Amino acid sequence: MINVRPPTVAGLFYPSAAAELRREVEAMLAAAEPAARAKPVPKAIIAPHAGYIYSGPVAAAAYARLAPARDRIKRVVLLGPVHRVAIRGLALPAASMLATPLGNLMVDAKAHAALSLLPQVCVNGAAHAEEHSLEVHLPFLQSALADFTVVPLAVGDASAEEVAQVIDTLWGGAETLIVVSSDLSHYLNYAEAQALDRATAQAILDMRSDVTHTQACGGTPVNGLALAARRHHLTPDLIDLRNSGDTAGDRQRVVGYGAFVFCSEDNKEQHVH
């Protein structure tokens, strides 16, 4: 029997009507496309997971970079922090498919099997049931890519090395994209957020693996990606850094957002001139 995880933040974080959602995501990608043109396709990205009105344009800056690899990327490894259910390690969903208003995505069965050999990986449906940090990326992926499977990992209490081990296991080749879901600072005033987010962005660009949860709610997967990226000789680049005070919110209590891409020498040669 096929077990489908239904969307839980459609109508809250993004539109629940398919046509409206498609229009909104495609408009954000189109706005980001000129800046992405003729740039290398990333192997990994870090993008935010707030409501689209707040963080969508920042996420789109990273997703627009995937256009030349639309048909090449066949598997997306998606890691995001848990917000509702505390877990040890990293959790795969119990579901074999993830639903959004744009359709169903198949969870990659081979990756699921490969990860079952790692002690830090478990299957936990509850960790995924109401988690938005992974779900909000799915419509962007469905719009940016053609035909792909997904490996959704809810990241709880884990070391950077444990996360890096999971990423290494699924590294693959040009067919595999790694997406880390994280917002940056939370609920500071505008000036404080800008200062902290600039420091956090620099830590990510330096590929340090000591980013705290005060700096980034997805600090654990961010740190794991930093370790894996160093091992695989990727080069990070910051392509957008804003907060909710820049997009759709007031400036008293803001949330920070950054879009980062990690490219290898190989995928630098694969972009369109």
Q: Which domain holds residue 211?
A: 4-172+180-268
CB 146 within 8 A of CB 106: no
The answer as to whether 147 is a domain residue is: yes
The answer as to whether 95 is a domain residue is: yes
The answer as to whether 150 is a domain residue is: yes
CB under 8 Å to 155, separation ≥6 — which residues? 79, 80, 81, 82, 90, 163, 218, 220, 221, 224
Taking 50 as the pLDDT cut, the residues of the chain under it are 269-273
The answer as to whether 60 is a domain residue is: yes
Distance in angstroms (rounded) separating the CA atoms of residues 160 and 141? 25
The answer as to whether 229 is a domain residue is: yes
CATH number for 199: 3.40.830.10
Write out pLDDT tens, residues 147-192. Answer: 999 999 999 999 999 999 999 999 999 999 999 999 999 999 999 9
Write out pLDDT tens, residues 106-131. Answer: 999 999 999 999 999 999 999 999 99
The answer as to whether 273 is a domain residue is: no
Q: What's the domain count of the chain?
A: 1
The answer as to whether 58 is a domain residue is: yes
Taking the mean position of all CA atoms in its chain, how far away is CA 70? 17
The answer as to whether 80 is a domain residue is: yes
